[in-house]
Amino acid sequence: MKKITILTPSYNRAHTLPALYESLLKQDTDAFEWMVVDDGSTDGTGALVEGWQREGKIPIRYTYKQNGGKHTALNEGIGQIGSELTFIVDSDDWLPENAVEIILKYHEKYRGTQGLCGYSFLRFYPDGRVNDAFFPRDEWIDTYVNARINAGIAGDKAEVFYTEVLKQFPFPVYPGEKFVPEDLVWVQMSGPYKMVHINQCVYISDYLEGGLTRSGKKMKIHSPKAMTERARIYLNDDAVNGKTKCKMCLLYVIYGRFAGFRERELVSGLKRKKWYAAGIVPGMILYETWKRKYR
């Protein structure tokens, strides 16, 4: 069995997957497999990937499912993975040639450390700029909440998880909603587990029109239960700083209203009711504004 599975959820990305495939062919080590979970594509993705399977240059697993959103594709893939590590790589991104080698080098160093759920590396843009910022300390061991949220490092990073831990935290699924932000799960994982934060680039991001990152508020408003749950998780986590909670209390009210939750349901979901009280007036003002602007 390979040491690491590169997990790629894909929806109508037959035009971008070749760049990722070519980057995998160039890896300095073959200690990985590639799993593509096709989330109901209609653009020939299946035939494309099956052609690569026939080439036999790298081990590829392909799974097709009905369209349900990236989070459902991740759940499908994670459930099938047996390797020690899982590296989620989006269908419109690619890897530098030494990415897998770097990941495995650090894994050999830290694999016996108790209380870890994985590693967080850097993402770069194609022009060589880092996405948002470097970590203030290299090989910094801390929780996702402390190292990312409380430290104010907002840009995307490249997370590699221990598969057995990832399986403990499946993404929630809400009927009719096709977006669940990944940090909803990462914050939950942050309670019992820490990560090693490493200032090495293992991932290249090129955000495309139509990609999830660019889809913005409309996408989130159409998944209001997931967004409400994300805000609730942040507000109920004692480690999250007050500045972030001030933002989340507004979002909790806004998305809670879009989801159709009653006030008592929203209040009862919080450990500290003061956050609902703090967010209700400005949250309702923003809710009315967003309702006119984005729906």
| 103-153: pLDDT as tens digits | 999 999 999 999 999 999 999 999 999 998 999 999 999 999 999 999 999
Query: Do 269 and 200 share a structural domain?
Result: no
Q: CB within 8 A of 70, min separation 6: which ones?
A: 9, 11, 39, 178, 179, 180, 212
Q: Please choose, from the candidates 154, 161, 158, the residue with its C-alpha nearest in 3D space to the C-alpha of residue 204.
A: 158
- End of a domain among 168, 191, 213? 213
Query: Do 139 and 249 share a structural domain?
Result: no
Residue 53 belongs to a domain: yes
Query: Do 279 and 159 share a structural domain?
Result: no
Query: Do 163 and 36 share a structural domain?
Result: yes
Query: Do 93 and 237 share a structural domain?
Result: no
**Beta-strand relationship, 140-142 and 32-39:** unpaired
Mean pLDDT, the chain, rounded, equals 96
Domain count, the chain: 2
Query: Do 71 and 189 share a structural domain?
Result: yes
Residue 138 belongs to a domain: yes
- Looking at residue 217, its pLDDT comes to 84
The sheet carrying 85-88 orders its strands as 60-65, 32-39, 4-10, 85-88, 158-162, 116-124, 194-204, 140-142
pLDDT band at 215 (very low <50, low <70, confident <90, very high): low
Find the CATH number of the domain harbouring 26.
Answer: 3.90.550.10
Residue 218 belongs to a domain: no
- B/e letters for 228-248, b = 16+ CB within 10 Å, e = fewer, are bbbbbbbbbbeebeeebbeeb
pLDDT tens-digit map of 226-249: 999 999 999 999 999 999 999 999
Q: Please choose, from the candidates 215, 174, 180, 145, the residue with its C-alpha nearest in 3D space to the C-alpha of residue 74.
A: 180
pLDDT band at 154 (very low <50, low <70, confident <90, very high): confident
**Domain span holding position 104:** 4-213
Region 46-73: mean pLDDT is 98
Query: Do 144 and 30 share a structural domain?
Result: yes
pLDDT at 212 over 50: no
Q: 45 near 17, Cβ under 8 Å?
A: yes
pLDDT tens-digit map of 220-232: 999 999 999 999 9
Residue 285 belongs to a domain: yes
Query: Do 149 and 185 share a structural domain?
Result: yes
Residue type, 125: Y
pLDDT at 211 over 70: no
Residue 24 belongs to a domain: yes
Query: Do 95 and 26 share a structural domain?
Result: yes
Region 28-48: mean pLDDT is 98
Q: Which helix (H) or strand (E) holds 63?
A: strand 60-65
C-alpha span between 271 and 116 (Å, rounded): 27
Q: CB within 8 A of 20, min separation 6: which ones?
A: 8, 89, 91, 92, 93, 94, 95
For the ranges 41-55, 179-193, 208-222, which has the lowest average pLDDT? 208-222
Query: Do 174 and 28 share a structural domain?
Result: yes
pLDDT at 11 over 80: yes
Query: Do 63 and 188 share a structural domain?
Result: yes
pLDDT band at 90 (very low <50, low <70, confident <90, very high): very high
- Looking at residue 208, its pLDDT comes to 55
C-alpha span between 166 and 276 (Å, rounded): 31
Query: Do 152 and 112 share a structural domain?
Result: yes
